[in-house]
Amino acid sequence: MGIYINPDNTAFIKAVESEIYVDKSLLISFTNKVINTLQSNICVSRPRRFGKSMAAEMLVAYYSCGSNSRKLFQNLRIAQHPSFEKHLNKYNVVHLNIPNFMEDAENASDLIGFIKEDLLDELLRTFSNVQMPKRITLTSVFAAIFDQLKVPFVFIIDEWDCIFREYKNDTAAQEKYLTFLRNILKNQPYAALIYMTGILPIKKYGDHSALNMFDEYCMTNQRNLAEFTGFTETEVKELCERYQMDFEMTKHWYDGYNLKGMSIYNPRSVVMSMTGHDFDSYWTKTETYESLKKYIQMDSFGLREIITKLISGEHYPVNSDKFQNDMVTFNSADDVLTLLIHLGYLTYDFDTETTWIPNAEVQKEFLNSIEDGGWEHIMHSLQISDELLEATLHGNSERVSEIIEQVHDENTSVLQYNNENSLSCVLSLGYYSARKNYMIYRELAGGKGFADLVFIPRKGCTNPAMIVELKWKHSAETAIEQIKKKEYVNCLKDYTGEILLVGINYDKDSDKKHNCVIENYIKGIS
């Protein structure tokens, strides 16, 4: 039992005995499936505070022959799996938390040197009964131990990518580090399993990677590890019941990460919300907003328009394939957006290849980041959204038209002015504050088509529901007629409260005027 070699299970005991522990132990069934196979090299990247270290500590506790963890796991789900006994505490484990080595390192050479020195020292002490080779290197020592004892190694490397964040501009240091990892890990018979965690996927150099033997599981494609990336909806519902917290609000604040169609919640924020019995931006407080601000303030590649659309609630297409998996190589807006996906500020749909802001927690961080620096018009649009909602609820169609026209005019430098998609974005900005009390749906199926915008009151909100139809170069009256003719109200068939029908038209040929008609919907009358 050592620091790096065959650690005990103390760290994982702390996790299991915490007030909230969500059982993710079936991750072990996956690693057991691939151990000692060609698929045994795994690199898992997730944002900060998404349970990377806890997963690593769990694997250490399970595989390390420096522990007796049967009792620790006996009440967890993995204990019922057929592979549980086969691999329990049967391996020599190397556990490295890379940031610990960086504390005293001034450069990459220091970092690599510290890892080598500390590992060699502990290996030689732990395996003093093994005849060591004349030429003492990490690879030769690992090979000798495996050759004589016939017990393979499991490598658990946490925050493997921190060098790419700390030394983001030092490509020579990064390459040296990758070469070091490749030399001790790639195609080594002593390695039964390699499990690496980080925020960024493995760094690319051109079309190749020094660590191309890894199967990668990242925020653009977690593959079959999605359920272990954060909390699932079922897990969050159970927590909400236990702590008597409103599930709908929890979903609004912390859900939204789409991983291969699975809805994933930010685990850190959910835990803080449950134990504190409130809703706040807990995850973003672990970092300063400066890291986000730096990237969204970039006005190259048309980013300002894209960020505006994302803030308004739009899904935006992104090509994540060309991203070089670092913090500095940006050749397109796609690269910046892909980085924000990996950092957890955006989520990504693998099937549609689109990205969006996942939840209220992150949305709040975006707003903090645009409070200055040329985003004044957008901020003003958001600030007057309360007035727009109130005018709508009171049937003041003239004032609604005036505010929408103002929001549209103020953002002409960012958005393409003369199209319906632009108007949709304007409406989303204008009604931004409605998100507090409404669930807002775009293109919601109902009746004989899709309603442009549907506002459904959240639990406890007494405001009426709203169906909003947008028109370009027609009339607001035409929009209302379309709602009725195509029976869009059927999308609210389970809703029993009051409903407002809102038609909005923009005509660029009529002095760029916006018109609005608001009607109370009376059931049975169309």
DSSP 228-244: GTSEEHHHHHHHHHHHT
Of the candidate ranges 77-91, 297-311, 431-445, the one whose mean pLDDT is the lowest: 297-311
Choose from 59-73, 276-290, 379-393, 499-513 the range with maximum mean pLDDT.
59-73
Q: What is the DSSP string of 346-404?
A: SEEETTTTEEE--SHHHHHHHHHHTSSSS-HHHHHHHHTHHHHHHHHHTT-HHHHHHHH
Confidence category of residue 92, pLDDT binned at 50, 70, 90? very high
Residue range 118-128: average pLDDT? Answer: 95
More confidently predicted of 505 and 12 = 12
> Exposed, middle or buried, 241 (CB in 10 Å: 0-12/13-18/19+)?
exposed
Residues 333 and 446 in one domain: no
Which has the minimum average pLDDT: 106-115, 266-275, 296-305? Answer: 296-305
Mean pLDDT of 145-159: 97
Q: Kindly state whether residue 224 falls inside one of the protein's structural domains.
A: no
Looking up residue 151, the CATH number of its domain turns out to be 3.40.50
Is residue 5 domain-resident?
A: no
Task: Indicate the pLDDT class of residue 131, thresholds 50, 70 and 90.
Answer: very high
Between 265 and 496, the more confident residue is 265
Pair 452, 469: CB distance under 8 Å: yes
Summarize the confidence of residues 120-126 as an average pLDDT.
Answer: 96
Q: Report residue 414's pLDDT band, with 50, 70 and 90 as the boundaries.
A: low
502 within 8 A of 466, measured Cβ to Cβ: yes
CA gap 268, 273 in Å, rounded: 9
Q: Hunting for tokens 């030399």 — which residue is that?
A: 183
In this prediction the pTM is: 0.90
Residues 356, 248 share a domain:
yes
* pLDDT tens string 8-27: 999 999 999 999 999 999 99
Query: Is residue 90 assigned to a domain?
Result: yes
Contacts of 506 (CB under 8 A, 6+ apart): 408, 423, 470, 471, 472, 473, 512, 513, 514, 515
Predicted pLDDT at 61: 98
Tell me, what amino acid is at 6?
A: N
Average pLDDT of the segment spanning 102-121: 88
Q: What is the mean pLDDT of residues 117-135?
A: 95
Query: Are 350 and 387 in the same domain?
Result: no
Split at pLDDT 50, 70, 90, the class of 413 is low
User: Are 86 and 153 in a shared domain?
Assistant: yes
Cα 360 to Cα 505: distance, rounded to the nearest angstrom: 29
For the ranges 88-102, 284-298, 460-474, the one whose mean pLDDT is highest: 88-102
pLDDT for the residue numbered 415: 60
Question: Looking at the domain assignment, is residue 222 inside a domain?
Answer: no
Identify whether residues 264 and 303 lie together within a single domain. Answer: yes
Say if residue 176 is in the same domain as residue 267: no
Weakest mean pLDDT among 65-79, 200-214, 424-438:
200-214
pLDDT at position 206:
52
Residue 223 inside a domain? The answer is no
Supply the angle between the helices 385-393 and 420-430 in degrees, to the nearest 10: 90
Domain count, the chain: 3
Q: Is the pLDDT of residue 46 over 70?
A: yes
Are residue 313 and residue 381 in the same domain, yes or no?
no
Residue 371 neighbours by CB distance under 10 Å: 11
- Note whether 168 and 89 are same-domain residues: yes
- Residue 526 domain flag: no
As a whole number, the mean pLDDT across the chain is 89
Are the beta carbons of 147 and 189 closer than 8 angstroms?
Answer: no
Which of 353, 369, 385 finishes a domain? 369
Query: What is the per-residue pLDDT for 420?
Result: 60
Q: What is the pLDDT of residue 286?
A: 57
Which tokens belong to 464? 């009426």
User: Is there a single domain that holds both residue 356 and residue 475?
Assistant: no
Inside any domain, residue 480? yes
Residue 4 lies in a domain: no
> Is 491 in contact with 475 (CB distance < 8 Å)?
no
pLDDT of residue 69: 97
Instruction: Give residue 336's domain range.
Output: 231-369
Banded pLDDT at 207 (limits 50, 70, 90): very low
By percentage, how much of the chain surpasses pLDDT 70?
A: 93
286 and 420 housed in the same domain? no
381 and 354 in a single domain? The answer is no
Q: What is the pLDDT of residue 510?
A: 60
- Angle, alpha carbons 109-113-114 (nearest 5°): 120
End-of-domain residue from the set 320, 354, 369: 369
Whether 402 and 511 share a structural domain: yes
* CATH number of 481's domain: 3.40.1350
Q: What is the per-residue pLDDT across 454-499, written as a single tens digit (0 to 9) for each?
A: 999 998 899 999 999 988 778 899 999 999 999 999 999 888 889 9
Highest mean pLDDT among 46-60, 99-113, 169-183, 321-335: 46-60
Task: Compare 368 and 6 and report the one with higher pLDDT.
Answer: 6
